[in-house]
Amino acid sequence: MLRKERAAYIQNRLQQLYPETPIPLDHKDPYTLLIAVLLSAQCTDVRVNQITPLLFVRADTPRDMVKLSVEEIKEIIRPCGLSPMKSKGIAGLSQILLDEHGGQVPADIKALEALPAVGHKTASVVMAQAFGVPAFPVDTHIHRLAQRWGLTSGKNVAQTERDLKRLFPESRWNDLHLQIIFYGREYCTAHGCDGRVCQICRSVYPDRKHAKKTQKA
Residues 158 and 199 in one domain: yes
Q: What is the pLDDT of residues 69-101, one digit of tens each?
A: 999 999 999 999 999 999 999 999 999 999 999
The CATH number of whichever domain residue 106 belongs to comes to 1.10.340.30
In a domain? residue 210: no
Residues 101 and 144 in one domain: no
Task: List active site positions.
Answer: 121, 139
**What gap in Å lies between CA 36 and CA 80, rounded to an integer?**
10
**Structure confidence at residue 95 (pLDDT):** 98
Helices (H), the chain: 3-17, 30-39, 45-56, 62-65, 70-77, 83-100, 109-113, 120-131, 140-148, 157-167, 173-186, 199-204
Residues 108 and 151 in one domain: no
Question: Residue 153: pLDDT band by 50, 70, 90 thresholds?
Answer: confident
Which region holds residue 197: left if phi is over 0, alpha if psi is between -120 and 50, else beta?
A: alpha
Checking if the pLDDT of 161 tops 70, the result is yes
Residues 96 and 69 in one domain: yes
Question: Residue 149: pLDDT band by 50, 70, 90 thresholds?
Answer: very high
The predicted model scores a pTM of 0.93
**Structure confidence at residue 216 (pLDDT):** 78
Average pLDDT along the chain = 96
* Share of residues in the chain with pLDDT > 90 (%): 94
Checking if the pLDDT of 3 tops 90, the result is yes
In a domain? residue 188: yes
The CATH number of whichever domain residue 143 belongs to comes to 1.10.1670.10
Residues 16 and 68 in one domain: no
CA 40-46-174 angle, 5° bins = 60
Domain count, the chain: 2
Nearest CA among 23, 39, 12, 8 for reference residue 178: 23
Question: Residue 217: pLDDT band by 50, 70, 90 thresholds?
Answer: low
**Interval 121-134 mean pLDDT:** 97
In a domain? residue 213: no
Domain stops at, among 131, 162, 190: 131
Residues 100 and 80 in one domain: yes
Tell me the residue range of the domain where 172 lies.
Answer: 3-20+136-204
In a domain? residue 66: yes
Domain stops at, among 97, 112, 131: 131
